Structure 1
């Protein structure tokens, strides 16, 4: 007999109030925006389903509906959702609480915002265990927390269970979220972009952990991701979504190997390949002027016995018009180095020169003359933009600080910049929350371009973007570099993206540079064992065609 599906979704639709406006009428719920439209699929016990698509395709919205997380939000949910035989739509609040964590658990995309910053990680996991095991003592719950933290690869788990989230690295926080989800041995794990901000080696470890859990416990997995390489290596079936609807659904080998739908083919075409070489802009000079030179840079955090060295003895040069890619695991010192290069962090030691002049020791007042020429694009555009100010005002800030243009000229310049990065100039008065992730990243690029810099440090500028938006941002940076002659320092954990944009590659580990050279040489003939390990951990779309699946077919 065919076993009962672990998950059965039939005709699921999720709509949100459009809010007041000409298209919605005067009442906030007069108009509805459909985020998920008539979605149906099933998942057998122990199987794994990947849900992929661009930002706004409805992936996460569908995943949240599996655990009834839209209840109380104003969302209009119709259709049938059954998990382990439980009707999620008909369940009361008490039944939903029993379902969440006990039968089905969720790993959210952003672990820092999903964990309570004021409480120890172990206490938060223990709370979940006690909620579903009423007779468990505090000691038993804490022991279970340490056990699952150890299971997901947290070193010295008993001690680290007493630490708070900010004392964990990004990869460790994601592992802690998975540990919390596993505390009650759920039959279903829903993982929403669980590896988005992780470097390739930690990503590989997390995906390996999920495979082990499926094999050991027969746990079902629904993996929401924009990374098709991750999906190729982790699931049995793939569901491709666009505008809230399923456009293709089938075995992962078939969908990735011979997609039927044009949209699926577009997604595949946008995936960066690690074998794809950088196309240098015409007329680019490999021996251009040295813009920035760092010599034996060092940065320490903390005091006394608590001192941690984030960057140690690092030397680097950046020439006009070139792109230097910096890769390495979380905690390797990439971001710390990038912030020191533009003097957002003061070096503890070493020298920093811009066009031959030492700027490493300059005070803020003396440094202002260089601020316009050294800019940065941050990883998270949400936290780097003021939510209470329009994007036009945020972009205008560096222009006003320079004091060289009148107000009308500043507004005109901002509108030109918006158009230059592919946004509507009329969006000047809109706020950050009104834009998608890719659009907000374009706003961050426009702000960095405002003072006409010579060098921009890009810190993980595409890590949270879907493959098509990612390709658009990478293409935009290439066009800007070609047209404006800007030098880029491109920090990222996605080695395929870094290869597409980099002339030279720097590999960091433990705060030091372990390998450096022309990008093609490093990618094709890596000398250091660590570089070889990084490249070996990169997920590829080719794996489904050459290896057996990791679990039963969905």
Structure 2
């Protein structure tokens, strides 16, 4: 069977390491295509003739850039494309089930029973209205209908304890919003493990997590494999994540397999140019900061922004929380200050205060020598154009009902420019400056990739002509090559426009690549600050040392050694 506009896939020899009955996963000539428009006359092929196998107890990492087809493959293993209008060809066998030929009843037995899937965003997979424990118990009873509600709740507590949730009997009654990002991901793992699956499919399970929580989740996956013998299929764009987590790596590009081998072979001696490009784009904590080598020629003697004793509290008297506590720092003309720390350390709150999107509860904030910490909105208005922010998620910061060109033009109009032709011309110039085609002016955010949307966000921030740009996790959800492109763009803008940047990130390797100086935050305070090379090369604070030790590395042996040290600690 073929789909309109889709040719039959090429025939390639399957990568078979054993007899079919001994395999946990067997994929042969898998092709997946999605309709390109509503009339069904054309289709976009997301996966093209892919073949691979996975033996019981083994782990396979599927890596590649956004759009390479890796998540489409993961979904095909549980036939999640059924009923979506997608065309699927080839053979997929998982835990003894011919997935494409299975009826709905057989699929229900497979999904969550013999094979389970963990997605990138746990919030989209957890019901916000129900307690975590009840949701796990419900999944358990679907596959174990003879089990009582009481026994199912006990099982929920048991698996929550297994994935490292402290005080599991009490936390089982919590709802998803009461858990941190790392705890929600653990809860999702507990749900997946409730029925003791033979295969766990993890689709970008650590993308939005800081390095220490990421290391904990990856260590947990390793331990679960060792204890239960389950197989693991790990989908990620982060090559450092697969280094210490899988046995084999499959590199994808444009829906096809580019390279497939053991993790040591692929990461140490890649054969294909594309794999080499991916590895070269991975930021490393031991590399010389690229942006620091290309420092703006104007020098950094002048202090642009100075914070002293900044404090920010939330809530009332009885439930008051201090997010930022007595923070003092300076940002000089033309420099990049990196701000790192775990989730909840206060980085984003501090960044918002620096551009006065949040009012400080206490402390002083001086910009170009003037105290702006207590200025009213009316008095701040003339300075708003000079203090801009690029947000982590361009989807939530861009109006989906306005074209990208109009989103970039809005700040120009807000500044008082009423010449529509000039505004549109300037917006087109800014789109072109960040690497987007000005002809896309009238397109909408949903028509662009994550990296392209981030470029739109940067163009919009540049529109008012800022002198300070606070970038809050601007590359956290991007693949390594897109990440490198955005960092290169920021470096160019910094050199050409003389911008000062505050670069907020949980990825220490990214911060290393872009920063002149680094400030490390923990619990709302700065625990260490200094030139990038000194902080990374000779960290003084135990917390900084712990962060650096948790950063994924590309050497599987080093990664395994670090995991052993964490286990022994």
TM-score bracket, normalised by the shorter chain, equals over 0.9
SS for the counterpart of 2:102 is coil
Contact 2:298–2:498 at 8 Å: present in 1 too?
A: no
Q: How does 1:467-478 map to 2 (within 5 A)?
A: 467-478=480-491
Matched, 1:138 2:156: no
Matched, 1:541 2:554: yes
Give the 3 Å change call, closer, same or farther, for CA 55–334 of structure 1 in structure 2: same
Give the 3 Å change call, closer, same or farther, for CA 468–375 of structure 1 in structure 2: same
Q: Once the two structures are superposed, what CA deviation does each residue of 1:239-295 show, in whole Å capped at 9, x if it has no partner?
A: 000000001101011111111111111111111121111233355455432121111
After TM superposition, give the deviation of residue 549 of structure 1 in Å: 12
In the alignment, the residues of structure 2 paired with residue 244 and residue 410 of structure 1 have an alpha-carbon distance, to the nearest angstrom, of 40
Matched, 1:12 2:30: yes
Contact 2:132–2:175 at 8 Å: present in 1 too?
A: yes
| Equivalent of 1:56 in 45, 48, 67 | 67
Q: What is the match of residue 404 of structure 1?
A: 417
| Equivalent of 1:388 in 373, 388, 401 | 401
TM-score by length of 1: 0.95
Q: How does 1:176-191 map to 2 (within 5 A)?
A: 176-191=187-202
Matched, 1:172 2:183: yes
Q: What is the match of residue 432 of structure 2?
A: 419
RMSD of aligned Cα (Å): 1.8
| Equivalent of 1:236 in 224, 247, 265 | 247
| Equivalent of 1:101 in 92, 96, 112 | 112
Give the 3 Å change call, closer, same or farther, for CA 94–164 of structure 1 in structure 2: same
Contact 1:49–1:239 at 8 Å: present in 2 too?
A: yes
After TM superposition, give the deviation of residue 524 of structure 1 in Å: 0.3
Contact 1:253–1:545 at 8 Å: present in 2 too?
A: no
After TM superposition, give the deviation of residue 544 of structure 1 in Å: 4.0
Q: How does 1:344-493 map to 2 (within 5 A)?
A: 344-493=357-506
Q: How does 1:270-281 map to 2 (within 5 A)?
A: 270-278=281-289, 279-281=292-294
Q: What is the match of residue 311 of structure 2?
A: 298
Give the 3 Å change call, closer, same or farther, for CA 549–77 of structure 1 in structure 2: farther
By relative contact order (CA 8 Å, sep 6+), the higher-ranking structure is 1
Q: What is the match of residue 514 of structure 1?
A: 527
In the alignment, the residues of structure 1 paired with residue 59 and residue 48 of structure 2 have an alpha-carbon distance, to the nearest angstrom, of 22
SS for the counterpart of 1:304 is coil
Contact 2:386–2:466 at 8 Å: present in 1 too?
A: yes
In the alignment, the residues of structure 2 paired with residue 545 and residue 359 of structure 1 have an alpha-carbon distance, to the nearest angstrom, of 48
In the alignment, the residues of structure 1 paired with residue 295 and residue 210 of structure 2 have an alpha-carbon distance, to the nearest angstrom, of 32
Q: What is the match of residue 269 of structure 2?
A: 258
Q: What is the match of residue 116 of structure 1?
A: 127
When structure 1 is superposed on structure 2, of 339-348 and 454-463 the one drifting more is: 339-348
Q: Once the two structures are superposed, what CA deviation does each residue of 1:332-357 show, in whole Å capped at 9, x if it has no partner?
A: 11111111111222222222221122
| Equivalent of 2:97 in 78, 86, 91 | 86
Q: Once the two structures are superposed, what CA deviation does each residue of 1:127-163 show, in whole Å capped at 9, x if it has no partner?
A: 1112111122222222222222222222222222222
SS for the counterpart of 2:339 is strand
In the alignment, the residues of structure 2 paired with residue 536 and residue 30 of structure 1 have an alpha-carbon distance, to the nearest angstrom, of 52
After TM superposition, give the deviation of residue 430 of structure 1 in Å: 0.7
In the alignment, the residues of structure 1 paired with residue 297 and residue 165 of structure 2 have an alpha-carbon distance, to the nearest angstrom, of 46
Q: Once the two structures are superposed, what CA deviation does each residue of 1:193-252 show, in whole Å capped at 9, x if it has no partner?
A: 111111111111000000000000001000000110111111000000000000110101
Contact 2:28–2:91 at 8 Å: present in 1 too?
A: yes
Q: Once the two structures are superposed, what CA deviation does each residue of 1:387-446 show, in whole Å capped at 9, x if it has no partner?
A: 121111111111111113511111111111111010111111111111111111111111
Gaps of 5+ in 1: 21-26
Give the 3 Å change call, closer, same or farther, for CA 367–548 of structure 1 in structure 2: closer
When structure 1 is superposed on structure 2, of 136-145 and 423-432 the one drifting more is: 136-145
* Pairs aligned (count): 544
Give the 3 Å change call, closer, same or farther, for CA 549–539 of structure 1 in structure 2: closer
In the alignment, the residues of structure 2 paired with residue 286 and residue 185 of structure 1 have an alpha-carbon distance, to the nearest angstrom, of 60
Contact 1:11–1:39 at 8 Å: present in 2 too?
A: yes
After TM superposition, give the deviation of residue 366 of structure 1 in Å: 2.2
TM-score by length of 2: 0.93
Q: What is the match of residue 514 of structure 2?
A: 501
In the alignment, the residues of structure 2 paired with residue 55 and residue 96 of structure 1 have an alpha-carbon distance, to the nearest angstrom, of 28
Q: What is the match of residue 41 of structure 2?
A: 30
Contact 2:296–2:494 at 8 Å: present in 1 too?
A: no
When structure 1 is superposed on structure 2, of 84-93 and 161-170 the one drifting more is: 161-170
Contact 2:549–2:562 at 8 Å: present in 1 too?
A: no
